[in-house]
Structure 1
Amino acid sequence: MSQERTAAQYDVIGARWEDARSLPTVHPERASFLALLGDVTGLDVLDLACGDGFYTRQAKLLGADRVVGADVSEEMVAAARAAEERAPLGTRYVAADAADLPDLGGFDVVTAAYLLNYAREEETLTAMCRGAFERLPRGGRFIGVTQNPRFSFDGPRPDPYGFAFEPLATSAFGTRIRVTAALEPPITFETCLIRPEVYEAAFAAAGFTKVSWVPLHVPEAALARFGAAYWEGFSANPPIVLFEAVR
């Protein structure tokens, strides 16, 4: 998917994306993402595909020093800036294409929630990974959450957890899908289940020395709220997964 089309999708969604954080999937996503992020006290963090700045602000609240969010969608950046104005934390936001980043300086950690799955071809995917790589020191981490490349349409569906997947087309790159968020009215957008070997080749081409896939965990609060049985399908066929790439 072109970055122009991605921007157009999220320009339409804009501030409504905040509503999607009421959906059940967000419980394991948030807990797992923040656990992987870990202690960022005093570190500089770049948040790519920052959207409305949710994880950007989380990094700042966890003690990060300089925190910058970047997103290709002007509307999402506007929503992030509005959130900063309502409750100032010292985060900064720029409208920028993650595959062609401006000079933002160096960072200790780069994060990306739902960035890489919007690449439409290997060249763009590698450019996104390289953009993160070039802003990190040796040993610096690029972490994020993406659509699970091993998700199976023959397994449990993600619908009970707030998001429905519809396959559109399959290629050597991956399976393009339409995602519908169970809101009123629904939010619909297109993304891609990129093959794991394609991801790993892009990380390597960008220069990363170590790449790990990190499964999500369902936090105790979500188990208590919904019941363990409710999450069995999610754990058996996760719709999303975390990654960690080390320079």
Structure 2
Amino acid sequence: MTKSVHHDRISEQYQASSTQYDNVKNLPYAFVERETLLSGVPDLTGKRVLDVACGTGFYSRIFKRLGADKVVGVDIEQSMVDVARQIEAEAPLGITYDAVDAAELPVLGEFDVVAPIWAFVHAKDTAEYHDMVARCAANLVSGGTMVALCSNPDIDLDKMSVYPRYGLSITPKEKHGDLQVIHIEMDVEPHVGFDGFFWPAGATEEAMEKAGLIDVKRHPNRAPGHVAGMSEKGYWADFVANPPFALYTAVKP
């Protein structure tokens, strides 16, 4: 697979953290991420799921345990895929993994659910963002659902100062055109960190609609134990009010 300089850099950043990547899912912020993501996932019983930017397969394994009949995970970084395959070999669930760049994602099959998780944050420009969404949509069957965890378009950069309490920090960097470049660090040893973009409001909805998807929705952020939402008080409140991610779903007609 031939990558651009931009995607080589992404791959290198994840390569450096591949053996530690699952550990970040035990940090407090990741519990909110997981609760939010799963709130938008439909019933997976007997379904076929494509996990785009699967990393070491953390969510792929959750999808399989939620009843999915078939799960395929793809990631830009081969070392991430190697770790996912090793975990699968040690505790088989029937998941397959492959090294595929989301920016070059082909049609890998017919899936009921396609879940690009943190994939679109790495698109280098609007054209690539739209192309990534379209490539994910092309893998959906009619009636299938895209469940996309994206950057938060309404992020308040000043309020990110609370993030270390939840196990991560985000540092704004130089802008790339109109896009805010960020560096994300997770509080694990050894180092886990990567760069990405905060995309503006409307970018995801526009890309999904351009890809022919309907019923585009942004879902509320969730915290563990708060099925109906989140109170304004308590440990999770500051993070849930201003997380770095946002969850969108859409349906292929």
Normalization by structure 2: what TM-score? 0.89
C-alpha displacement at 1:243, in angstroms?
Answer: 1.1
Deviations 1:113-169 (A, max 9, x none): 111111110121111101111111222111022221211112253221111111112
Whole-Å separation in 2 of the counterparts to 1:171 and 1:152: 18
Which of 38, 43, 59 in structure 1 is aligned with 2:42?
38
- Is 2:53–2:75's contact at 8 Å kept on the other side of the alignment? yes
Which of 167, 175, 185 in structure 2 is aligned with 1:180?
185
Correspondences of 1:200-219 after superposition (within 5 Å):
200-219=205-224
Whole-Å separation in 2 of the counterparts to 1:2 and 1:210: 32
The one-letter code matched in structure 1 to 2:140 is: L
Structure 1: state its 5+ residue gaps.
222-227
The one-letter code matched in structure 1 to 2:21 is: W
What number of residue pairs does the alignment pair up? 241
- Is 1:9–1:189's contact at 8 Å kept on the other side of the alignment? yes
Which of 18, 24, 41 in structure 1 is aligned with 2:22?
18
SS in structure 1 at match of 2:128 = helix
Whole-Å separation in 2 of the counterparts to 1:184 and 1:80: 20
- Is 1:173–1:198's contact at 8 Å kept on the other side of the alignment? no
2:164 is the alignment partner of 1:166: no
Structure 2: state its 5+ residue gaps.
227-232
Residue of structure 2 in register with 1:141 after alignment:
145
Normalization by structure 1: what TM-score? 0.91
Which of 50, 54, 57 in structure 1 is aligned with 2:58?
54
SS in structure 2 at match of 1:104 = coil
The one-letter code matched in structure 1 to 2:116 is: A
C-alpha displacement at 1:101, in angstroms?
Answer: 1.8
The one-letter code matched in structure 1 to 2:250 is: A
Residue of structure 2 in register with 1:150 after alignment:
154
Whole-Å separation in 1 of the counterparts to 2:150 and 2:251: 17
Residue of structure 2 in register with 1:225 after alignment:
none
Which of 132, 135, 158 in structure 2 is aligned with 1:131?
135
Which of 84, 88, 100 in structure 1 is aligned with 2:104?
100
User: Share of identical aligned residues, percent?
Assistant: 35
Residue of structure 1 in register with 2:31 after alignment:
27
- Is 2:48–2:68's contact at 8 Å kept on the other side of the alignment? yes
Whole-Å separation in 1 of the counterparts to 2:149 and 2:49: 16
- Is 1:178–1:189's contact at 8 Å kept on the other side of the alignment? yes
| CA separation of 1:200 and 1:38: change in aligned 2, threshold 3 A | closer
- Is 2:114–2:146's contact at 8 Å kept on the other side of the alignment? yes
C-alpha displacement at 1:172, in angstroms?
Answer: 5.7
Residue of structure 1 in register with 2:237 after alignment:
232
